[in-house]
Amino acid sequence: MESHVIGDKSVPLIEKTIGQMLRETAEKFPDNEALVFVEDDISLTWSELLSDAEAVAAGLLALGLEPGDRVGVWGPNRVEWVLAQFATALAGLIQVNINPAYRLSELEFALNKVECKALILADQFKSSNYEEMILKLAPELPHCPHGKLHAERLPELRAVITMGEEAPGGFFAFADIPDLAEEEHYERLEEIEKSLTCHDAINVQFTSGTTGSPKGATLTHHNILNNAQFCARGMHLTDEDRLCVPVPLYHCFGMVMSVLACLTVGATIVFPAEAFEPVSVLEAVEAEGCTGLQGVPTMFIAELAVPNFGDYDLSSLRTGIMAGAPCPIEVMKRVISEMHMSECTIAYGMTETSPVSFQTHIEDPIERKTSSVGRIHPHAEVKLIDENGKTVPRGTQGELCTRGYLVMKGYWGDEERTADVLDGDGWMHTGDLGVIDEEGYCHITGRVKDMVIRGGENIYPREIEEFLFTHPDIQDVQIFGIPDEKFGEELCAWIRLKKGVEGDEKSITDFCDGQIAHYKIPRIIRFVEEYPMTVTGKIQKFEMRNAMIKELGLKEIVTA
């Protein structure tokens, strides 16, 4: 039997836009709580969420935005983020998810790559002052008329909207956006909604690039709404469930597998805090009576490690999804037994596939939940191929290729890199290695390329290498992952310096600080004279990894 599986098609695909789905859910469950932001003491019902999202959508149109224009959203988990998500969908605007950890060079690239016309940003969060950062890229902002920015470094950007209570000069306040709308803008919104189709692009999610710069995976209503539907079904979510969501909204986990999954059934989405903090999660589950919990393995590990973990009443929990990184077997066992999540599921996928293509079933025995990523999702198709592109037999390792409604339209403005992963028959070549057994369960065994997954964040070494190549003292640099108990993997850099230069680890990390996201900064740095190579001159990163494992006394992490 070949390693080729096709998902069940008995449940039809949703042929609606996200806006239509929001209206339907608000009509069915008007008084159900839709959003709870525990830290901010904010609660909205589905009917209130629809009303607020409509007002923001009309306000965005009043700014002069048109269907198809790109709107960046940059900030932590706040109510404004979700309102922007639904408002852009209603108005046919394309929401661009921007990682809150991005720094200047990454932000500049992302905004210009997709030619964002507007940017909605947090005022500040933790050590990041988003308003100050955008002013560094667009110092012209305070001196331009509202909504008519002309910035040399951000030529397409016209409007900047802060989530903060007070808007600095040149900024709009998010809270004031609905007040910009007149009757004509609501009429225009109604016209636009009638013209939209579920196959329109609605979202760009950046994923790190193997060739140095992030790629914007372009997704449609049809892509992400249907994937959300099947994630919800996988968890057996209903309108009576309350899903605790500590994962970030900018990521497909938070936006699709959490928010949109709840949208499809009318469930309640509970956000414990603006960013992950284990105690806030446990408090939210107890206080809000959450029945589901999402997270990457490192989040569950941190929650279980809270000193007074046993004092929290988590008995309301039953379901959820653990995804984003390989799951350590012992962690899954503890989540099921100590967190009462007997129906917890494991999911696997990638941003480019909306994201989930495999998920365990709640009925699966614990052995399956701790040794596989489950079986194929409905309406998805996956095959495993060898180096020659031929489908391998069951039980044989091959590269995962995915096809179906869930595959992205392509990378925004990058036909070449789209063609690298999407073939003429519609197959998305994931770069992941796996094995499909006789019963159709998939086991992820590795990666074709050297991507590092640190705490659920996909990191491509080439991107960091190219950035470090701009350091004046560096002659050559190689980045790779090493095992880490907390994050699954951690970044290590082997650096060859130019002649006569002394090695200084702090100068390397200082060079990265503020320019690339904190999770991309190598935690282990070694200065070397040469790299292990093959006779043909190919650098052997696995030999570097092995050397560091030996030097640091590390152990490979056993995962599902």
Same domain, 417 and 457: no
Same domain, 283 and 410: yes
Same domain, 234 and 290: yes
pLDDT of residue 558: 54
448-474 per-position pLDDT tens digit: 767 788 998 878 787 898 789 889 999
The 3-state secondary structure of 391-447, one letter per residue: ECECCCCEEEEEEECCCCCEECCCHHHHHHHECCCCCEEEEEEEEECCCCCEEEEEE
> Distance between CA 520 and CA 481 in Å, rounded?
11
Cβ partners under 8 Å of residue 182, min gap 6: 62
Cβ partners under 8 Å of residue 400, min gap 6: 357, 382, 383, 384, 430, 432, 433, 434, 442
Same domain, 494 and 515: yes
| Pairing mode, strands 398-404 and 428-436 | antiparallel
Cβ partners under 8 Å of residue 499, min gap 6: none
pLDDT of residue 534: 56
Same domain, 276 and 183: no
* Percent of the chain as helix, strand, coil, to the nearest 5: 35, 25, 40
Same domain, 277 and 380: yes
Same domain, 382 and 468: no
Same domain, 261 and 229: yes
Say which residue the tokens 């039809």 belong to.
12
Domain CATH for 77: 3.40.50.980
Please report whether residue 118 resides in a domain: yes
Please report whether residue 74 resides in a domain: yes
Please report whether residue 299 resides in a domain: yes
| Pairing mode, strands 159-162 and 116-121 | parallel
The Cβ of residue 433 has, within 10 Å, a number of other Cβ atoms equal to 16
Q: Which of 423, 410, 355, 343 has its CA nearest to residue 383? A: 423
Estimate to the nearest angstrom the gap between the alpha carbon of 265 and the chain centroid.
Answer: 22
> Distance between CA 477 and CA 14 in Å, rounded?
47
Cβ partners under 8 Å of residue 30, min gap 6: 45, 46, 47
Number of domains the chain contains: 3
Same domain, 96 and 178: yes
Residue finishing a domain among 407, 425, 447: 447
> What's the token pair of residue 402?
């995915």
The 3-state secondary structure of 165-228, one letter per residue: CCCCCCCEEHHHHHHHCCHHHHHHHHHHHHHCCCCCEEEEEEECCCCCCCEEEEEEHHHHHHHH
pTM score, whole prediction? 0.86
pLDDT of residue 537: 54
Please report whether residue 204 resides in a domain: no
Say which residue the tokens 């935005």 belong to.
65
pLDDT of residue 393: 98
Please report whether residue 232 resides in a domain: yes
Least confident of 505-509, 518-522, 533-537: 533-537
Query: How confident is the prediction for the chain on average, in pLDDT?
Result: 94
Decide if 23 contacts 50 (C-beta within 8 A): yes
Element (H, E) at 294: strand 292-295
Residue finishing a domain among 143, 161, 196: 196
Residue finishing a domain among 167, 196, 225: 196
Same domain, 410 and 492: no
387-419 per-position pLDDT tens digit: 899 999 999 989 999 999 999 999 999 999 999
Domain CATH for 251: 3.40.50.12780
Please report whether residue 210 resides in a domain: no
Please report whether residue 147 resides in a domain: yes
Torsion region of 431: left, alpha or beta (phi above 0 gives left; psi -120 to 50 gives alpha):
left
Same domain, 412 and 273: yes
pLDDT-derived band at 208, boundaries 50, 70, 90: low
Please report whether residue 133 resides in a domain: yes
306-353 per-position pLDDT tens digit: 999 999 999 999 999 999 877 777 788 899 999 999 999 999 999 999
Please determine, for residue 167, whether its predicted confidence score (pLDDT) is greater than 80. yes
Boundaries of domain holding 253: 4-12+216-447
DSSP string, 70-122: EEEEESSS-HHHHHHHHHHHHHT-EEEEE-TT--HHHHHHHHHHTTEEEEEE-
Q: Three-class SS of residue 50?
A: helix
Torsion region of 488: left, alpha or beta (phi above 0 gives left; psi -120 to 50 gives alpha):
left
Between 82 and 208, residue with greater pLDDT: 82
Same domain, 285 and 414: yes
